Structure formats: C-alpha cells, structure tokens
Amino acid sequence: MAAGAAVRAWMLVLCLWGAVTGDQNITARIGKPLVLNCKGAPKKPPQQLEWKLNTGRTEAWKVLSPQGDPWDSVARVLPNGSLLLPAVGIQDEGTFRCRATSRSGKETKSNYRVRVYQIPGKPEIVDPASELMPGVPNKVGTCVSEGGYPAGTLSWHLDGKTLTPDGKGVSMKEETKRHPETGLFTLHSELMVTPTRGGALHPTFSCSFTPGLPRRRALHTAPIQLRVWNTVPLEEVQLVVEPEGGAVALGGTVTLTCEAPAQPPPQIHWIKDGRPLPLPPGPVLLLPEVGPEDQGTYSCVATHPSHGPQESGAVSISLIETGEEGTTAGSVEGPGLETLALSLGILGGLGTVALLIGVIMWHQRRQRRGQERKVPENQEEEEEERAELNQPEEPEAAESSTGGP
Ligand SMILES: *[C@@H]1O[C@H](CO)[C@@H](O)[C@H](O)[C@H]1NC(C)=O
Ligand SMILES: *[C@@H]1O[C@H](CO)[C@@H](O)[C@H](O)[C@H]1NC(C)=O
C-alpha cells in the first residue's frame, strides 16, 4: 500500500543516513515486510557477513548468515546480504545487527532498533450526551480507539482546545485493554465536565488519538456539539389547590398543581400523609370523584439535578360535612325559589289586572256621578259618549250604574 511504500522509502533514507551515524531507529507496520540492509556488504555472494538479532522471538542473540538456513518464516538473508522479515509482528521488536567485511577487507557494522506499529481505526465517541447541566458533573461521552499498537493516547478537545483533567470541572476515566491474541490496544476515555453557569451554551467536543510512536499522524473523531441548559434556579415550590381551601363534596374533583418554575423543568413527585404516592412524576395531581380515602395532607417535591429536592407547603384535602343531605336540601331550595318567583309574578299580574279594572270602574262611576250632577238636558248626548267609551264593558257598566248611588 501507499503507506507501506512511504515507510520503506523513509527507511531507505534512514539507512543511507545510518551509513554515517552507524545506528538507526526503524519503525515497521505490523504485517508488512521489512528489509534491513547490511552496510558495506558485497552486493553478491560470496559475502562475509553475519546478522545477529535480539527480539521478542529470541531468547538471546540469534545468528543468521547467507549460507545458513532461513529462520522459519520469520527472517532470512537475501542474496544481496539484506535481512528480510516477510511479515513483521509485535515480537519482532528488538535489536538487529549486521557485521560485514568488504572485498577490500573493511569491516562495517549496522545497528538497528526496530519498533513496530499498527494504525488503529478512526476513534469514535460512543454514548455521547446531547445536553449538559451547569453546576454538576456531566458525562460527555466515551472516546474509543480500537486496534492500535503501541497503545498511544486519547485526548479530548473543547472548542478546539485540549482539555486537561483539573480535578474540578474536567475529569477523564481512562482504560487500556490489550487483545489477548493480536496484542493490539483498545483505549477508552470517558470525559466528565462540569459546565459553569453562564458559560458557552453550545460547546463542541472532539477526541483525538495520538500514536505512541513519533512522526505518526494523530487521528480525530467527528466533533459533537452539545447543548448546555441555561438554568433558571428553582426559587420556591408552591402547591395550588382547586377548589381553594381543599374542601370538596363527595364525588367532587380536586386539582393539585405544583408550581416549580425552573429551567430545565424539575421532576415533580407527590407526597400524601408523608408517604410518596406511587405515581409517574408530573406537575398536576388530579383527584376525580373524591372519596373518604382521598382525604389527607398533600405536598409536592420538585427535584432539580443541579439543586436537589425541594418540598412545597402542605395542603389538606377534606370532604364537606353536609354530604348527601346537604346536596338534597340545596336541590329543593332551588325549585322552591322558582315557584315563589312564579307565584309572585302571577300575583303581580293578577294585581295589575285587578287594579286596571278598579281604575276603569272608578272612572265610570265618576263619570256617571258627573252626569247626574250636571245638566239633565244633555243626558242623551252623554249617554252616547259613554256607550262609545265603554262598549265592551257594557254589562259591568250596567251593573255599576245600578249599584251606583
Ligand atoms: C532511537 O530511539 C531512542 C529511544 O527509543 C532514542 O534515544 C534515540 O535517540 C533514537 N535514535 C535516533 C537515531 O533517532
Ligand atoms: C536487497 O534486495 C532487496 C529485495 O530485492 C531490496 O529491497 C534491498 O533494497 C536490497 N538492498 C540493497 C542494499 O540493495
């Protein structure tokens, strides 16, 4: 692969430079072939050279020569005198030395220190939080890097700046595991932060893996943006009861409302006679069809993650004493009043009619008296007038006239 080719090219550069200094550090990717050159050796046999290696696979120095057999599939000396490791493993870390004598009899030593590496997968943030609460420690997420060698380190960044555990607002819980067969590392880093009140409301977190070997590139997770609750402190928890006073007739409804204004909204639990009610949390407690068992003292408790629980004052719910008798009496009283009003109305109407009749009768009598007292010659004229006025009431008029003085 391209990376492997780059490593080999870089190794070659180091090897050429090593011809001057005499020893180098070599890094090789796990599973890839590694070629170490024996400096000063003739390019073709016959050669006078010897490879010596001390690695995780050897108990002491292992000697390899061009004439000797290859060491299983681990290493062999190539025709040009270089040492080939077809697939480097963690156990191949160690020291490699070659001593060669040129055709002219000059002795050259090569000394390598080999380290191997594996690039882990891209780190990831698992179980990320979405919201953070100011004033209390919050878990942001766990950064995971899998399959790297050597272990390397994970670091967290907030808005591009590296976070360091300070024992107060920032803490990290780290764990390093090693695969029993491959020997590769899995790193976990759990980040806890305590956002300050009034701080940034949309912080961006990211995590990066720094390899354990120099000159290797760091790997970064995708950033995660979280929301910090802009908390409004919990002032006072108030319990409002409807109907006011908490006295209710049997079968009536009582509504208890717990007023605990805070951001984010606190969790509300209910307490009756000192014992928590087994209800899901909620700000409203509705008691429909109140019975004797509902009587008692109620209060609510608001729990806010950054303030702790806070209890309201107590309210007592009681049944109105009159009970069913009271309601019956009431229902009778209502229609009674109506009847009274109706009778009064009828009486009033009758009274008005009676009054009207009275007034008319009185008027007629006055008229008659006037006729009698007045000039008798005009009697016929007056009679006609009277007939016109009181035509429908003629029998009454007749009666009154008979009864008149
Ligand atoms: C090789 O690595 C060792 C530490 O592992 C260091 O002390 C030394 O200076 C390095 N040599 C070269 C040539 O970089
Ligand atoms: C020896 O041969 C190998 C494989 O053919 C090659 O990678 C290496 O560079 C050679 N070494 C020298 C010193 O030419």
- Measured distance CA(22)–CA(50) in Å, rounded: 16
Substitution candidate for ligand 1 out of 10, 21, 113, 213 with most atoms within 8 A of CB: 113
SS3 at position 303:
strand
Average pLDDT score over residue span 363-374? 52
Letter for the amino acid at 290? V
Closest atom of ligand 1 to 25 CA is 1
Mean pLDDT lowest among 16-20, 75-79, 297-301 = 16-20
Highest mean pLDDT among 175-179, 345-349, 372-376: 175-179
In the predicted structure, residue 392 carries a pLDDT above the cut 60: no
Q: Is 358:396 a contact under the CB 8 Å cutoff?
A: no
- Measured distance CA(287)–CA(243) in Å, rounded: 11
Going from the Cα of 89 to the center of ligand 1, the distance in angstroms, rounded, reads 20
Tokens linked to 31:
């599973």
Peptide bond into 243 cis (omega under 30): yes
**Percentage above 70 pLDDT, the chain:** 73
Letter for the amino acid at 98? C
Task: Give the CB-side neighbour count of residue 403, counting CA atoms within 13 A.
Answer: 10
Going from the Cα of 31 to the center of ligand 2, the distance in angstroms, rounded, reads 19
Q: State the pLDDT confidence band at 348, using cuts at 50, 70 and 90.
A: low
Which of 294, 283, 281 shows the shortest CA–CA distance to 239?
A: 283
Mean pLDDT lowest among 76-80, 219-223, 321-325 = 321-325
Going from the Cα of 17 to the center of ligand 1, the distance in angstroms, rounded, reads 14
Substitution candidate for ligand 2 out of 82, 83, 98 with most atoms within 8 A of CB: 82
Which of 95, 100, 80, 96 shows the shortest CA–CA distance to 39?
A: 100
Q: What is residue 364's predicted lDDT score, i.e. its pLDDT?
A: 64
Average pLDDT score over residue span 175-196? 96
Whether 37 is in the pocket of ligand 2, judged by its Cβ within 6 Å, is yes
Going from the Cα of 66 to the center of ligand 1, the distance in angstroms, rounded, reads 29
Going from the Cα of 225 to the center of ligand 1, the distance in angstroms, rounded, reads 41
Average pLDDT score over residue span 344-366? 54
Q: Going by CA atoms, what residue is nearest to atom 8 of ligand 1?
A: 25
Average pLDDT, the chain: 81
Going from the Cα of 36 to the center of ligand 2, the distance in angstroms, rounded, reads 8
The ligand whose atoms approach the alpha carbon of 98 most closely is: 2
Closest atom of ligand 1 to 23 CA is 13
The ligand whose atoms approach the alpha carbon of 24 most closely is: 1
Q: What is the pLDDT of residues 284-343, one digit of tens each?
A: 999 999 999 999 999 999 988 777 788 999 999 999 876 454 444 334 444 444 444 455
pTM for this structure? 0.60
Q: What is residue 216's predicted lDDT score, i.e. its pLDDT?
A: 87
Average pLDDT score over residue span 6-12? 51
The ligand whose atoms approach the alpha carbon of 36 most closely is: 2
Which of 184, 186, 212 shows the shortest CA–CA distance to 90?
A: 184
Substitution candidate for ligand 2 out of 10, 80, 85, 108 with most atoms within 8 A of CB: 80
Average pLDDT score over residue span 209-231? 91
Substitution candidate for ligand 2 out of 8, 11, 37, 38 with most atoms within 8 A of CB: 37
Q: What is residue 231's predicted lDDT score, i.e. its pLDDT?
A: 72
Going from the Cα of 42 to the center of ligand 2, the distance in angstroms, rounded, reads 12
> Edge-to-edge strands of the sheet including 94-101?
23-29, 107-117, 94-101, 48-55, 62-64
Cα distances (angstroms) measured from residue 305 to each of 131, 135, 229, 271, 278: 13, 9, 11, 19, 21
Going from the Cα of 202 to the center of ligand 2, the distance in angstroms, rounded, reads 56
Q: State the pLDDT confidence band at 387, using cuts at 50, 70 and 90.
A: very low
The ligand whose atoms approach the alpha carbon of 18 most closely is: 1
Whether 35 is in the pocket of ligand 2, judged by its Cβ within 6 Å, is yes
Mean pLDDT lowest among 24-33, 122-131, 378-387 = 378-387
Whether 192 is in the pocket of ligand 2, judged by its Cβ within 6 Å, is no
On the 0-12 / 13-18 / 19+ scale of CB atoms within 10 A, 42 is middle
Q: What is residue 336's predicted lDDT score, i.e. its pLDDT?
A: 44
Q: What is residue 16's predicted lDDT score, i.e. its pLDDT?
A: 47
**Percentage above 90 pLDDT, the chain:** 58
Q: Is 208:155 a contact under the CB 8 Å cutoff?
A: yes
Q: Going by CA atoms, what residue is nearest to atom 13 of ligand 2?
A: 37
- Measured distance CA(8)–CA(268) in Å, rounded: 66
Closest atom of ligand 2 to 12 CA is 9
Q: What is residue 199's predicted lDDT score, i.e. its pLDDT?
A: 85
| Residue 396 vs residue 270, higher pLDDT | 270
Closest atom of ligand 1 to 18 CA is 13
Whether 82 is in the pocket of ligand 2, judged by its Cβ within 6 Å, is yes
